[in-house]
Structure 1
Amino acid sequence: MSLVVYVAAALLALAAVVIYRRPAAGTGARSPLTVSTAVAIALAALVFVCSAPVTLAVVNGVTGIPNFGAPLTYGLLSAYSCSLLILLIHWRGGPPERMRRTVRRSVTAYAALIVAIVVLFVLADSDTERLADLDTYYATTPLMREMIVLYLLGHTVATVVMCVLCLKWQREVTGLLRTGLRLIMASSVLDLLGFQLTKYTAVAARWAGGDLDFLSTGVAPPLAALAALLSSAGFTLPRLLPPLRAHWRCLGDHRRLRPLWSRVGFVSTAPKPPSGWWQSPRQRLHWREVAIHDALLALAPYFDDGVREHARDIAARAGRPPHQARMAGEAEMLVDAARRAAAREQPLDPPSTYRLHATEVSDSSGLVELAHALRHSAVATAAREGTVRTSHGLNHG
């Protein structure tokens, strides 16, 4: 069982670190939602670490108090339950004063619960160390019995509140947020039925003189781990997936701009940024865009409108739509300008006043289109082989 909970704890800790290391966009600061998400997931990881029999044995041995790990684990579980409510409060949003008031009430209620758990443990008679079956072993012991029921009830209240709120909110949202809420709903139901119900059943069986301890020791822990992982996925996916998608798009655009960069990069004078693995895909893409635009500006004096129009007309006669024909013409003109610049020929006089499509759009889509035209346009391919340039030269000859 220790291995299962340690693996779950490691995954949760990793999710908490990833969430916390992502400050609010453009501010460098971490929002209350980011902090509360990271804290809730980190507390879940701590709960799993502390509930492992190996950890319990170490804690009990270090403190010299039999079963000291029990109130520690139950207190952390109660703090985790409270953190889930706080996270939901920040996720839902609303007037700041109302949010602060609700947070204070939640903290006060669960702080009182944690104090009650500790007091009951101190007053109870629990001298026999139990590492895996404390809930059922002490289910009929005065004060320990109450402590066990209290921590279960505190966790149940938080879970039920989560179910109700998620069920209500998922009707009001769409997309990734709805997916996240559904994952949280699934985790809450699994927690209620897989962890809490089995714990209640095993404890009640002891009260009735029976023995269903396997539910508490064998069934509840892995289901609780699965529920916590689902819950973490529900909270993190809506926050992490959009930037991950953006990073992936930046990587794709950076790769798609390679043909254009390889063609015009030799004339760019844009200063190179410090290289390193820590540069984000967005930073790499931004520098390549700046460098390409700088190169296009340097090649503008070599733009030949006749080359562009000739290539555009060929593409149009081949059945290309107007925009694709325009891009094919621009690609051929750019190939010709790069050739002239590489050969150190004189710029055209008078220079062309034509404006590339890539300079008319604010994002990288125009450059990507131009790079695509350079790579896939039949006209640009012919230009690279010299056929179009030759025929154009004959037409002007």
Structure 2
Amino acid sequence: MPVELAFELAAHLESCPEIAAAFGEGLRRAANPEQAAGEAEIFSGAEALEAVAADWRAIEREGALLTPFQSFAVAAAALPAHLEHGQVPHIIVVREHGETRAILPLVATTMAGSRVLRFLGDPLIQYGDAILPGAGNEAHLMQALLAAGKLGADAALFRKVRTDAKIAGVLSRRAHVSNVEEAPYVDLRRESGLPPRDMRELRRYRRRLGEQGEVKLHITRGPEALPCVNRALELKRDWLAIKGFSSSVIGDPHWERVLTSLVTGHAELLACARLETGGRLAAIEVAITHGKRWHAFLGAINPEFAKYGPGQVQMADTIEYAREHGFLAYDLLAPADPFKRVIATGAVAVCDYALPLSLQGQVAARAFRFAPQAKSLLGKLPAPLRRAAKSILRLH
């Protein structure tokens, strides 16, 4: 992964005085902590999730989750993947007056020799957050972060935190922003259209696809959607290999198994949108749904139809399907790209935060800030050079 390269570079480029100065700033922050409330209890290991299941599910029934990526179902599906990778779950529960006020689900990982805490579910989850009931507040989250600091990690790296996330406020004051992206979305309550030029191009794509046969969108859930999800993963793996890109999820059998287990065990969470032309697959979207929000999680196209723009047609038709079936928003997720920005009606900022917890954690935090630039540099290389660089640097 680019972050591993960043760790190595940061370890060589950072000077000791600079690190010490930065660590001193971290100590000054810690000496003036924000108000914390409640008492924290830490559950660790393979049984940690089951130990907090009742409290987590109670908060979920309350309707307090902002995204599906904080659901207990996603956490339970992700747990085996973490364990297979040797990552240790640590779930922090903050209680006050006997009532649960916050749950912070983390896993301990190792990155280039540093002990790092990350959200449970990362890298699969597209939004990271803590789990708070209506009675929870930032003081309870502060207590959870203080408890996380006692786990012996060098740093905590909180990725993909929306600006409206429960944990965003306290992280924005206590941690360093290492990366900022946009997650575009379509407000389905508004009748929005593409700019004239893009609308003409979409009609042209649709016409050219129609010349190959009838264009039709199929939406499936549950076991019926499993072949669709498997095909999407296969197409995405092939595309990544051809382009010389890598993914922490696609191509990793443990993380891919998380998706297949969710589609078969939680039909309400995963849907598969399959665009066909003349009965043949043209494009696929795997979506994660939550309440009235449709999240476009994974897209893939059949290369046989690539020149006909099947992905754009599939997305346009899926948006209309979501609108007709009562969804209020179609979330394109981060990062934004030109096509996403064209069809979106708005966007929310998504930040990565680095929280140093030790002197070595200062190096980790700086490396994490450099990781997006490393990824961008690799992405600009021709595919053969990207593959060679990954092989030499052992980036996964």
- Common topology (TM > 0.5): no
Larger Rg belongs to? 1
TM-score range with shorter-chain normalisation? under 0.3
Q: Which has the higher contact order (CA 8 A, sep 6+)?
A: 2
TM-score by length of 1: 0.17
Higher helix share: 1
TM-score by length of 2: 0.18
Higher strand share: 2
